[in-house]
Amino acid sequence: MSVLAAATIHVRVGASDWGAVGPELILGATVLVLLLVDAFVPRRVREVSTWISLIALVAAFLDVYFLWSHGDSNALYGQITSDKFAIFFDGVIIVSAVLAVLLSESYIVSSSFDPGEYYALLLASAVGMMLMAAGNSLMILFLALELLSLSLYILAGFERSSPRSQESGFKYFLLSSFASAFLIYGMALIYGATGSTQLVAIGHCLHGSGCPANVTENPLLLVGIGLMVVGFAFKISAVPFHMWTPDVYEGAPTPITAFMSVTTKAAVFAAFVRVFNFSLNAAHSHWFPLLWGVAVATMIFGNLFALAQSNMKRMLAYSGVAHGGYILVALLANSPAGATAVVFYFLAYAFMNIGAFMLVSILESNGQVGDDISSYRGLWQRNPFLAGCTTVFLFSLAGIPPFAGFFAKYLALAAIVQAGHTELAIIAVLTSLISVYYYLRVVVVMVLQPGEVQAQETRMSGMAEMAVTASVAGTIGLGIIPTGFYNLATQSVDALRTAFGI
């Protein structure tokens, strides 16, 4: 522990406590190291960059652990804060990045693309996500969003020889940068209405200190909120801004799809909670109807579109859209319980959703067709461990107890019922009943339908096996003993409540 403390020295440069962004600095420095490794190390010892990434991620996680016990601190004059809310999301993002790196190793070898900048970009996007969770000012939020998006555009199109991957990267770039424009326009208008880019100051302003009395009725603010909803809804692929999701997810390299499906949403939802539930809390009556409509449409259409998919990656993309809807329901509760549900949901979602993509990635690493659901026939005979684990992930995504997904959904529904919007809970339950069909269909194909007699063997590398085991442990562990992690989530939301005085 003392070594760790020494590693996170609290260097005060220009009134900034750089220790607060320790994990981000560790990963950021590693990005530079990885670029130099890519430039100087000969191609045959490239695996070294996998190990460097893993070591850096573990170091960053230890720093996150240290910061959690250390308490809140700020960097850059309070623009970046490392309160427990941000630190919790840091942890989720780092765990997801570790799982993605473990999964990437054998995938890169088999799909024979030049790994080069792959890990550097992966870590750069993780830094962007962590900064987004820690951003305490609209400017930092936007910069962090750009950092994570720019890295992911390149990663989505990383398989340069595959037209689908190129399409994925290009589509993501065009549509997502368009959405970013909406977001920053909204931010500008909110700054115009409240006179500050600091989230805490905006919150105080709307509660009536230092601002005109009727600022919550100011059209500037309302248009700003509307534009920010568009920007955020695009990034979490909520209906009607979800069109890009299946195409991008299908074409991107599978470990990247797994990584971005969880972490982009986690980072944007962290900002979403911070901005809407806390900073813009006083304007609640204005944004509630907007997000209500988006959440309902997201749950209904996400699940209905997922029914029709025969491609696992597209199916999981629409399932991700639907899960975004459930998380929006928790956000709409606009209460500490709701925010806690959002935080807990992402911990569960990281394990079960990345886990569900692992099957595709591992099959593709074996040189087999990975994303066609009908090709999973007889997987139970070929590799019972992988088939069993995937069954666990899909059950958890469907919200069947005793897995993590059940408890996450339960918290979201409990929060919204408590807030008095039972209609949202009813829609959520009905639509997740639909979802059971498409999750279980995959299980039926895998376990009950016999495969061809001379089917190829499905092997797993040691790292992939570790990733699957860790995800299964997480999914089952969070479902059976959620209390400890639930308490951590509550503490992280408490930190936000003290910061904003709500």
Partner 1 sequence: MIQAYVPLLILALVAGGFAASNILITFVVGPYRPTREKLSPYESGMTEIVPPRQRFPIKFYVIAMLFLLFDIEAVSFYPWSILLRSLHFAGFIEMLIFVAILLVGFIYVWKKGALDWE
| Residue 39 C-beta: closest distance to partner 1, Å | 4
Q: Are 380 and 302 in contact (CB under 8 A)?
A: no
In whole angstroms, the minimum distance from the beta carbon of 144 to partner 1 comes to 17
Cβ atoms of 129 and 93 within 8 Å: the answer is yes
Q: Are the beta carbons of 144 and 129 closer than 8 angstroms? A: yes
Give the residue among 311, 427, 301, 447 at the shortest CA–CA distance from 372. 311
Least CB distance to partner 1 at residue 116 (A): 9
Rounded distance between C-alpha atoms, residue 342 and residue 332, angstroms: 10
Query: Which residues 8-37 are close enough to bind partner 1 by CB under 8 A?
Result: 13-14, 32, 35-36
The residue (of 150 and 398) whose beta carbon lies closer to partner 1 is 150
Continuous segment of H or E residues that includes residue 12? strand 12-13
If the CB atoms of residues 16 and 366 are measured against partner 1, the closer one turns out to be 16
> Smallest distance, Å, CB 34 to partner 1?
10
By beta-carbon proximity to partner 1, the closer residue of 127 and 389 is 127
Report the candidate in 399, 397, 405, 395 with the shortest Cα–Cα distance to residue 444.
Answer: 395
**Phi-psi group of 26: left, alpha or beta (phi > 0 → left; psi -120 to 50 → alpha; rest → beta):** alpha
Tell me how far, at minimum, the Cβ of 38 lies from partner 1, in Å: 7
Q: How far is the CB of 11 from partner 1 (least distance, A)?
A: 9
The nearest distance, CB 87 to partner 1, in angstroms, is: 24
The contacts of residue 167 (CB under 8 Å, 6+ apart) are 247, 251
For partner 1, the closer of residues 13 and 453 by Cβ is 13
Q: How many residues bind partner 1 (CB under 8 A)?
A: 8
Nearer to partner 1, 9 or 473 (CB): 9
Which among 346, 434, 428, 333 is positioned nearest to 129, based on CA atoms? 346
Beta strand residue intervals within 181-269, DSSP E: none
| 41 forms part of the interface with partner 1 (CB under 8 A) | no
Would residue 2 be called left, alpha or beta, if left means φ above 0 and alpha means ψ between -120 and 50 degrees? Answer: alpha
Q: Which is nearer to partner 1, 120 or 229 (CB)?
A: 120
Question: From start to end of 76-115, where are the E strands?
Answer: 80-81
In the complex, the smallest distance separating the C-beta of residue 350 from partner 1, rounded to whole angstroms, is: 30
CB of 308 to partner 1, least distance (A): 41
**Least gap, CB of 49 to partner 1 (angstroms):** 13
If residue 17 lies in a helix (H) or strand (E), which one and from where to where? strand 16-17
The backbone torsions φ and ψ at residue 75, rounded to the nearest 5 degrees and listed phi first, read: -130, 160
The dihedral over CA atoms of 173, 177, 180, 181, expressed in degrees to the nearest 10, equals -170
Strand partners, 135: 80
- One residue of 39, 45, 213, 453 binding partner 1 per CB under 8 A: 39
Contact predicate 206/280, CB 8 Å = yes
User: Smaller CB distance to partner 1: residue 65 or 170?
Assistant: 170
- With beta carbons less than 8 A apart as the criterion, state whether 350 and 266 touch: yes
Q: Does 38 bind partner 1 (CB under 8 A)?
A: yes
In angstroms, the CA 88 to CA 225 distance is 26
Identify whether the C-beta of residue 19 lies closer than 8 Å to the C-beta of residue 73: yes
* Least Å from the CB of residue 160 to partner 1: 14
Q: Which is nearer to partner 1, 35 or 290 (CB)?
A: 35
Q: For residues 36 and 481, which CB has a smaller minimum distance to partner 1 in the complex?
A: 36
Contact 75, 86 (CB under 8 A): no
Residue selected from 2, 3, 40, 420 as contacting partner 1 according to rule CB under 8 A: 40
Side chain identity at residue 321, one-letter code: V
Q: Of the ranges 38-46, 158-166, 185-193, 452-460, which one interacts with partner 1 (CB under 8 A)? A: 38-46
What CA–CA distances, in Å, run from 4 to 109, 195, 220, 386? 34, 40, 47, 37
**Residues 275 to 334: which contact partner 1 by CB under 8 A?**
none
Closest distance to partner 1 from the beta carbon of 403 (Å): 43
Q: Which is nearer to partner 1, 177 or 374 (CB)?
A: 177
Q: Is residue 213 at the binding interface for partner 1, with CB under 8 A as the rule?
A: no
Residue 74 or 361 with smaller CB distance to partner 1: 74
Nearer to partner 1, 6 or 13 (CB): 13
* Total residues belonging to the chain: 502
**Which residues here bind partner 1, judged by CB under 8 A?**
13-14, 32, 35-36, 38-40
